[in-house]
Structure 1
Amino acid sequence: MVFIKRGPYLIVSLLAILFVLGACSLYLTGATVSVLSITDGDTIRILYDYDRDGYPENIPLRYIGVDTPELHENSKPMGEFGEEAYQFNKQLIEDSGYVIRIEPHGFDSFGRILAFLYTENGKFINEELIRNGLARPLTYENTAQHSMDFKEAYYEAYNNRRGIFSLYDTAPVVDASEVRNDLKSFVDGGYLGKIIWLKFYVTDASKYILEGNDAIVEIRKEEANLFFDGDPEFESYLHKTVKVFGEIWENKEDGKPKILLRAPFELKIIN
């Protein structure tokens, strides 16, 4: 049997534990909130009394588990279908009367609430964006309870050629050297943010990276687990010419065009 000495330290410790548990509970219970504005395809601002002090605040909210093309350039380039994702998100919010139900799960490093969102009639907004080809899955282990739903929705978007996949059969196949030499924004006629098939010869391969002289393709561990049972078998593509479907980013370390891979149907061997 363990005896705990009573005193001020015990009281302070208990209060600290109760505070932490109370704070955590804020992110585990749903809430109905008003939407103040739509920022882009996966970010909004809401009126929310997140700390329950009786004073709702204007606070940004980032959708969990999805990544839509950027509406404006920031750490990632402005993306093709960014406007479509924004308009689709806006329509869902408008149809819900700018009132939604959120299932919050804490904050990100930018101070945004992270949440799953539902319209007044029960539509799962995060999933609807993926199902319509306007977002890609972006999985994290601590908020992965809907990952299988998102995977199925992504395949549905692909099979029905919705959103970004409307270009799957018609997007140009472009050699990586050409893309690297024209990495200005797609709105200015370049390839940055554009959805294409990126073609290159694989000179190096590791578990999560394929690399050529003028291109790099990566997959996050979480998407490798979700779509490839943990191993995309990138080593089997070594010394082969491949094409990869996706949105072009720039790899900051070396200026190579880069695609973040999600699913097996986005990578094909040419020869």
Structure 2
Amino acid sequence: PQDGQKVRFLGINTPEVQHRDKPADAGGDEAKRWLQAKLLNKRVRLELANEKTDKYGRTLAHLFTENKEHINLQLVTAGLAAVNIYPENLLYVSELVEAEERAEKAHLGIWQQPQYQPQSVNSLSESKPIGWTRVVGRVVAIKTTNKSIYLEFSDHFQARIEKQWLTLFPDVNDYNGKTIEVRGWINKSNDRLSMLIRHPSAIKFR
């Protein structure tokens, strides 16, 4: 990478550090210190995927050290990041998901923080949760529109899967009537809370 080049880690979501008047997310400072100790003044190799940059102009990449350490994967392994897969960038998905399952099971890093514990659909408030969220509930119906499939949990919350990515998912009817956890960011639209699910790794049977 060039000096001053901004890189966003592919396949993961790390907690935010303090920015202006926004406080750091739980685990944000710990992840920053880990990265500084690992990478400051070190040479790294970037492995790019199909999508080269995000909307902010940051390079999207998997980072590797000269010792062939996969930094994205190590952050997840240490419990310092959660998996966040975009369908355009499917490199190392199975490795990342397996590492997350191990870290979560061992309650490492963010997985021991209250902010990263799942909350029930019934406990969601109209003032939407800030940041990345885990929601658990029973899928009571599945609805289809021209572009999306909706997993309906209640009158107030739904998870949306875009039809263009359906080939990545198992049969969505398998979710109907089941208690599942969905992971991601909640948006509010027309007095309803909705979460966009881009990849099946963001859905867990409970």
Query: Does structure 1 residue 209 correspond to structure 2 residue 150?
Result: yes
Residues 245 and 265 of structure 1, relative CA distance in 2, 3 Å threshold = closer
Residue 181 of structure 2 corresponds to which residue in structure 1? 244
Cα pair 1:210 1:217 within 8 Å, conserved: yes
Following superposition of structure 1 onto structure 2, how do residues 11-50 of structure 1 map, counting pairs within 5 Å? Answer: 48=2
Q: What stretches of structure 2 of length at least 5 have no aligned partner?
A: none
Cα pair 1:130 1:153 within 8 Å, conserved: yes
Residue 31 of structure 2 corresponds to which residue in structure 1? 88
Give the C-alpha shift of residue 126 in structure 1.
Answer: 0.8
For 1:109 and 1:196, how far apart are their aligned partners in 2?
A: 25
Residue 205 of structure 2 corresponds to which residue in structure 1? 267
Following superposition of structure 1 onto structure 2, how do residues 185-224 of structure 1 map, counting pairs within 5 Å? Answer: 191-193=129-131, 195-199=133-137, 202-205=140-143, 209-211=150-152, 212-219=154-161
Report the 3-state secondary structure (helix = DSSP H, G, I; strand = E; otherwise coil) of the residue aligned with 1:157.
helix
Q: Deviations over 1:28-78 (max 9, x none)?
A: xxxxx5xxxxxxxxxxxxxx1xxxxxxxx52321112222344479xxxx8
The alignment's C-alpha RMSD in Å is 3.9
For 2:156 and 2:173, how far apart are their aligned partners in 1?
A: 18
Residue 138 of structure 1 corresponds to which residue in structure 2? 85
Cα pair 2:183 2:203 within 8 Å, conserved: no
Report the 3-state secondary structure (helix = DSSP H, G, I; strand = E; otherwise coil) of the residue aligned with 1:266.
strand
Report the structure, 1 or 2, having the larger helix content.
1
> Kindly, what percent of the aligned residue pairs are identical?
19
Which of 40, 43, 56 is the aligned partner of 1:100? 43
Q: Deviations over 1:65-116 (max 9, x none)?
A: 222344479xxxx89x944145224323323333231225333332112222
**TM-score normalised to structure 1 length:** 0.54
Give the C-alpha shift of residue 215 in structure 1.
Answer: 0.8
Letter in 2 for 1:118: F
**TM-score normalised to structure 2 length:** 0.68
For 1:159 and 1:220, how far apart are their aligned partners in 2?
A: 30
Q: Would you say how many aligned residue pairs link Structure 1 and Structure 2? A: 194
Residue 195 of structure 2 corresponds to which residue in structure 1? 258
Residue 10 of structure 1 corresponds to which residue in structure 2? none
Report the structure, 1 or 2, having the larger strand content.
2
Query: Does structure 1 residue 66 correspond to structure 2 residue 3?
Result: no
Residue 169 of structure 2 corresponds to which residue in structure 1? 231
For 1:136 and 1:114, how far apart are their aligned partners in 2?
A: 15
Cα pair 2:160 2:194 within 8 Å, conserved: no
Letter in 2 for 1:159: K
